[in-house]
Amino acid sequence: MTNISRRSFLATAACAAAASRLGAQAPAATMVSLTAAPTGPHMPADFIGLSYEVQQLVNPSFFSAANAGLIGNFKALSEHGVLRLGGNTSEFAYWRPTPASPEPAHPVTRVVPGQPKPYFYPVTEEAVRNLAEFLQVTGWSCIYGIGMGTNEPQRAAAEAEFAAKTLGERLQYFQIGNEVDLYGGYLRDQQTWSPKTYLDEWLTLARAIADRVPGAKFGLPDIAARMFWLTQVAELWPSIPNPPRLAALSHHYYFGGPPTNPSVTVPNLLGPANAAKVGQNAAIIGAAARKLGVPVRMTEGNTCYGGGKPGLSDAFASALWAADYSMLLASNGYSGINLHGGSGPSVANSVGGALLGDTLLKNQNVTPQQAAQHPHPFYTPIASFDNVFAWEPVAYGLKFAGALSGGMFLAGDLTKQIQASDVDATAYAVKLDGGAVSVLILNKDADKDLSLVLDFGRRGVAQMEALTAPALDSREAHIAPAGQPEKLRAGKLAVSVPRASGLRVTVRA
């Protein structure tokens, strides 16, 4: 993998240990069968994505063909990724087609702690043109967010028309509104706001856009956390006459928060209870999506809302979480994932003006110089340090899982097969284009190593890569080859996955 980090990789020998052959002294290994047919969900080639605040467009040079550092990071993360623009700040954007266009009158909104302050800013043609060039160079596509909270149909339609014309085939669909289930807290009347009133308002904007952009497609409802909104929107949709074209059912997900919440810990982040809850929600969300006849995409999320928690969101634990969460969604039929990040000021503006993680560091007597070594926001996949872009651990988790993109999941639940090992670990396997079988194993246990015998039921040569770091709280992550390619013996391969690490094994004939 291209070395784009400011940190060096671990020694090759240390990485190789993550997939060493088991010797006679090794503990008993759990057998994992990888012979099932590939009848599970398909993991799209553009599954991996990132999410940014719309306010990032205030700087037209950020998403532009001139930003070589950011472009290199995007291309290394995925050849076919999806950039989602939205976030809380999108509700205070307004379209300014020319420098002489006057700022429109804005509705009065409430100032609520933890919610974005009503700071209004323009989105310009220059920013959208530069965005189009950025997408073209990176090979990525875009989910383009248009605010609903303080917008009006004519402006929304004008912006959408220009964005559609300029982005062209790089535009996947429009997303109107951000975390609409929370509007009652600061943008709408809490007593009357509901999925029904949301849909009525959403339709006004969507139809205005569709009138100007024939064939426009939309995602909805992009909720924060209230799952019942997805079910109710799906139930209400069939009653809508001549509905706009839908492309996706979208929602957000943050493991927990705010950063000051004592339950936001590494053990809780990586524990099986968290994964079980994600799986339960995926079943509810999937049912709503099937009723609408569209795929599901997690369009904004990360480890800890409010900008992330230092020591968790920017540590190796987040890499294991990102890989596991990505694969859990993909195995439940999701079309993709967009982990949130961007610049510190844009995310700080989205959560009330400041990152609570900085308050935590101050309370821990961390000096300003030491605090500057953390990314801002703390959960961002791609951070900027003195104008140099660098991957954070969470990006390595995305990359590690993204290697399975384009594959079809093998039938069955591999995680259940390894539960007998009494190790907190998960496993996923797909059949890739060309016939190779690739299995990803994540040992999230802080104390126990995992010994497995992988039964591929075929001849072949195994190539292995490891996701590693010195410790769960390390401010680094590494992906590197784990040993030399190895022939299977009787279709089997014995491996060891050390505590707090990941292993990917790909077998080709």
Q: What is the pLDDT, as a whole number, of residue 12?
A: 36
Task: Supply the pLDDT for residue 4.
Answer: 37
CA distance 29 to 272: 21
Q: Which two tokens stand for residue 363?
A: 């309370």
DSSP, collapsed to helix, strand or coil, labels residue 41 as coil
Res 27: pLDDT? 57
Q: Which of the residues in the chain have pLDDT under 50? A: 1-26
3-state helix, strand, coil in the chain (%, to 5): 35, 25, 40
Quick one: pLDDT at residue 16? 44
CATH number at 12-41+407-508: 2.60.40.1180
Enter the tokens of residue 55: 């306010």
For the chain, domain boundaries: 12-41+407-508, 48-402
Complete DSSP assignment for 160-184: HHHHHHHHGGGEEEEEE-SSGGGGG
Q: Which of 70, 10, 91 is nearest to 498 (CA)?
A: 10
Q: Provide long-range contacts, Cβ within 8 A and 24+ apart, for 187-190.
A: 187/91, 187/109, 187/110, 187/149, 187/150, 188/149
Residues in CB range of 416: below 8 A, 6 or more apart: none
Second-level CATH architecture of 48-402: Alpha-Beta Barrel (3.20)
Q: What is the pLDDT of residues 228-264, one digit of tens each?
A: 999 999 999 999 999 999 999 999 999 999 999 999 9
Q: CA of 409: how far to CAs of 152, 328, 447, in Å?
A: 43, 11, 29
Rounded Cα distance, 178 and 166, in Å: 23
Contact 156, 205 (CB under 8 A): yes
Tell me, what's the pLDDT at 110? Answer: 75
Q: Which of 22, 31, 15 is nearest to 452 (CA)?
A: 31
Q: Respond yes or no on whether the N-terminal peptide bond of residue 377 is cis (omega within 30° of 0).
A: yes
